[in-house]
Structure 1
Amino acid sequence: MKKNKPKYTQIIDAAVKVIAENGYHSSQVSKIAKQAGVADGTIYLYFKNKEDILVSLFQQKMGNFIQKIEEETNSQQTAVEKLLKLIEKHFEQLTADHHLAIVTQLELRQSNKELRLKINEVLKRYLTVIDQIIEEGIQDEIFRNDIDKRLVRQMIFGTLDEAVTNWVMKEQHYDLVEQAGAVHDMIVRGLTYRT
Structure 2
Amino acid sequence: MKKNKPKFKQIIDAAVEVIAENGYHSSQVSKIAKKAGVADGTIYLYFKNKEDILVSLFQEKMGQFIEKIEQETTSKQSAEQKLLTLIQTHFEQLAADHHLAIVTQLELRQSNKELRQKINNVLKRYLNVIDQIVEEGVEEELFRDGLDRRLVRQMIFGMMDETVTNWVMKEQRYNIVDQAKEVHSLIIHGLARTDQ
| Counterpart Cα distance in 2 of 1:66 and 1:54 | 17
- Where does the alignment leave 5 or more consecutive residues of structure 2 unmatched? none
- AA at the equivalent of 1:37: G
Per the alignment, residue 177 of structure 1 pairs with 177
Aligned-residue RMSD, C-alpha: 0.6
Per the alignment, residue 73 of structure 1 pairs with 73
Question: CA shift at 1:30, angstroms?
Answer: 0.2
- AA at the equivalent of 2:87: I
- Where does the alignment leave 5 or more consecutive residues of structure 1 unmatched? none
- AA at the equivalent of 1:147: L
Question: CA shift at 1:91, angstroms?
Answer: 0.2
1:137-152 mapped onto 2 (5 Å cutoff): 137-152=137-152
Question: CA shift at 1:6, angstroms?
Answer: 2.1
| Counterpart Cα distance in 2 of 1:79 and 1:96 | 25
After superposition, the C-alpha distances for 1:153-186 in whole angstroms (9 at most, x for unaligned) are 0000000000000000000001100000000001
- AA at the equivalent of 2:55: V
TM-score if structure 2 supplies the norm length? 0.98
| Counterpart Cα distance in 1 of 2:150 and 2:47 | 35
Per the alignment, residue 103 of structure 1 pairs with 103
Look up the SS of the partner of 1:48 in the other structure: coil
Question: CA shift at 1:146, angstroms?
Answer: 2.2
| Counterpart Cα distance in 2 of 1:28 and 1:65 | 26
| Counterpart Cα distance in 2 of 1:177 and 1:142 | 24
| Counterpart Cα distance in 2 of 1:161 and 1:190 | 17
Is the counterpart of residue 18 in structure 1 residue 30 in structure 2? no
Structure 1 outlier segments of 4+, above 4 Å = none
Question: CA shift at 1:147, angstroms?
Answer: 1.2
TM-score if structure 1 supplies the norm length? 0.99
Question: CA shift at 1:117, angstroms?
Answer: 0.6
Q: Which moved more, 1:73-82 or 1:137-146?
A: 137-146
Number of equivalences? 195
Q: Which moved more, 1:41-50 or 1:185-194?
A: 185-194
Question: CA shift at 1:142, angstroms?
Answer: 1.6
Per the alignment, residue 40 of structure 2 pairs with 40
Is the counterpart of residue 153 in structure 1 residue 161 in structure 2? no
After superposition, the C-alpha distances for 1:43-87 in whole angstroms (9 at most, x for unaligned) are 000000000000000000000000000000000000000000000
Equivalent pairs: percent with the same residue? 76
- AA at the equivalent of 1:7: K
| Counterpart Cα distance in 1 of 2:4 and 2:177 | 31
Question: CA shift at 1:141, angstroms?
Answer: 1.5
| Counterpart Cα distance in 2 of 1:27 and 1:188 | 41
Look up the SS of the partner of 2:106 in the other structure: helix
| Counterpart Cα distance in 2 of 1:45 and 1:26 | 22
Per the alignment, residue 85 of structure 2 pairs with 85
- AA at the equivalent of 1:30: S
| Counterpart Cα distance in 1 of 2:66 and 2:37 | 29
Per the alignment, residue 162 of structure 1 pairs with 162
Per the alignment, residue 30 of structure 1 pairs with 30
Look up the SS of the partner of 1:145 in the other structure: coil
Per the alignment, residue 130 of structure 1 pairs with 130
- AA at the equivalent of 2:189: R
Question: CA shift at 1:193, angstroms?
Answer: 1.6
Look up the SS of the partner of 1:123 in the other structure: helix
Look up the SS of the partner of 1:33 in the other structure: helix
